[in-house]
């Protein structure tokens, strides 16, 4: 790749356009600087005490109009062809649905498997269908030079094709609230064989009967974005040691002391803003869970000592 950290076909396409524009800009900067210094020295007052009356040059005026116009048109051409390349999804691309919500990402594959990180095989084009469950988010993967907003109420898309294995950062490029800076995940590019092993394992996991384990729900429902499991403070209280803990909450604006028993945890999930733990903002969205999923999540929280 031309610039460090770039990968994939999309990265190459964007870098080529950027390099072309950069070369032109550096050339023009050097040319204009040289001419400016040259004219200052060549036509300084000490050497030309009497000013000359210069009427102009039609040839020069045409030249400095036509050449910049042609340069701008070539920039437009390369920009347009690059844009068309980035918007035309190759036939046979692997499709992954991306759910964005405050403040986490969830990736759903064609076999129903879900993960908080995007795992893809090297060399295969991947189409991402973006959906937002709350506010506008921006899916931004710098290494692949791709960025697309996820907008509530509509589907957007982008595609990329990784050309090397590795782990690459993904972040949210649109300010989306308190934990915007923590809305991070990874694109993990695997060899085809390793990816298929992981993919088939996920498929078998999906076909198992019963609700997902609480740890998986904690990941899939985006709980980890606000509630840590290791005691680290985030937007909401940590789940570690929460069960049985005495908390001061605000109920209808009035303080009261409660014990975080199973009933409190259940209510806090189903009615997130009924009792606000003191010191934390009332920003938790309502999460849709079946009774089995709710029970699994509560049991998971209870066991985090």
Residues 67 and 115 in one domain: no
For residue 123, the domain's CATH number is 2.60.40.420
Name the token pair of 67.
């050449």
Query: Would you call 255 exposed, middle or buried from its count of C-beta atoms within 10 A (0-12, 13-18, 19+)?
Result: exposed
**Model confidence, pTM:** 0.66
Q: Express each pLDDT in 249-270 by its tens digit.
A: 888 888 888 888 888 888 888 8
pLDDT interval class at 243 (50, 70, 90): confident
Q: Which residues pair with 171 in a beta bridge?
A: 140, 184
Residue 209 has pLDDT above 50, yes or no: no
Residues 71 and 119 in one domain: no
Residues 201 and 249 in one domain: no
In a domain, 240, yes or no: yes
pLDDT interval class at 173 (50, 70, 90): very high
Average pLDDT of the chain to the nearest whole number: 85
Domain-ending residue, one of 207, 224, 248? 207
State the DSSP code for 182. Answer: G
Q: Express each pLDDT in 139-171 by its tens digit.
A: 999 999 999 999 988 889 999 999 999 999 999
Q: Express each pLDDT in 44-62 by its tens digit.
A: 877 777 777 777 788 989 9
For residue 27, the domain's CATH number is 1.10.287.90
Domain-ending residue, one of 87, 121, 148? 87
Provide the domain limits for residue 72. 8-87
Residues 178 and 265 in one domain: no
pLDDT interval class at 181 (50, 70, 90): confident
In a domain, 100, yes or no: yes
Residue % of the chain over a pLDDT of 90? 33
CA quadruple 107, 113, 118, 120: dihedral sign: negative
Residues 160 and 59 in one domain: no
Query: Would you call 179 exposed, middle or buried from its count of C-beta atoms within 10 A (0-12, 13-18, 19+)?
Result: middle
**Residue 6 CA to its chain's centroid (Å):** 16
State the DSSP code for 212. Answer: P
Residues 102 and 158 in one domain: yes
- As a whole number, mean pLDDT of residues 24-40 equals 94
Name the token pair of 182.
């923590």
d(Cα 101, Cα 221) in Å, to the nearest integer? Answer: 9
d(Cα 169, Cα 118) in Å, to the nearest integer? Answer: 10
Highest mean pLDDT among 100-104, 210-214, 286-290: 100-104
8 Å CB contact between 141 and 170: yes
Residues 199 and 105 in one domain: yes
- As a whole number, mean pLDDT of residues 198-224 equals 70
In a domain, 1, yes or no: no
Residues 123 and 139 in one domain: yes
């Amino acid at each position: 790749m031309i610039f460090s950290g770039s990968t994939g076909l999309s990265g190459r396409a964007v870098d080529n356009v950027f390099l072309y524009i950069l070369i032109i800009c550096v050339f023009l900067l050097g040319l204009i600087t040289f001419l400016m210094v040259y004219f200052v020295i060549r036509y300084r007052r000490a050497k030309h005490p009497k000013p000359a009356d210069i009427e102009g040059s039609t040839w020069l005026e045409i030249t400095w109009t036509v050449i910049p116009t042609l340069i701008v048109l070539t920039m437009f051409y390369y920009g347009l062809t690059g844009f068309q390349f980035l918007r035309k999804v190759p036939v046979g691309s692997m499709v992954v649905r991306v759910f964005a919500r405050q403040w986490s990402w969830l990736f759903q594959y064609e076999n129903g498997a879900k993960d908080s990180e995007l795992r893809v095989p090297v060399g295969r084009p991947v189409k991402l269908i973006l959906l937002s469950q709350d506010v506008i988010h921006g899916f931004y993967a710098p290494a692949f030079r791709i960025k697309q907003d996820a907008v509530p109420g509509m589907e957007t898309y982008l595609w990329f094709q990784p050309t090397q294995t590795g782990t690459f950062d993904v972040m949210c490029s649109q300010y989306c609230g308190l934990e915007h800076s923590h809305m991070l995940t990874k694109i993990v590019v695997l060899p085809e064989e390793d990816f298929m092993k992981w993919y088939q394992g996920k498929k078998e996991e999906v076909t198992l009967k019963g609700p997902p384990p609480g740890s998986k729900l904690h990941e899939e429902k985006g709980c980890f974005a606000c509630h840590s499991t290791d005691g680290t403070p985030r937007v909401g209280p940590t789940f570690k040691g929460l069960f049985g803990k005495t908390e001061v909450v605000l109920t209808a604006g009035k303080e009261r002391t409660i014990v975080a028993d199973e009933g409190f945890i259940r209510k806090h999930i189903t009615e997130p803003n009924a009792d606000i733990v003191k010191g934390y903002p009332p920003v938790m969205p309502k999460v849709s869970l079946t009774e089995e999923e709710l029970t699994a999540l509560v049991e998971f929280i209870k066991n985090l000592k």
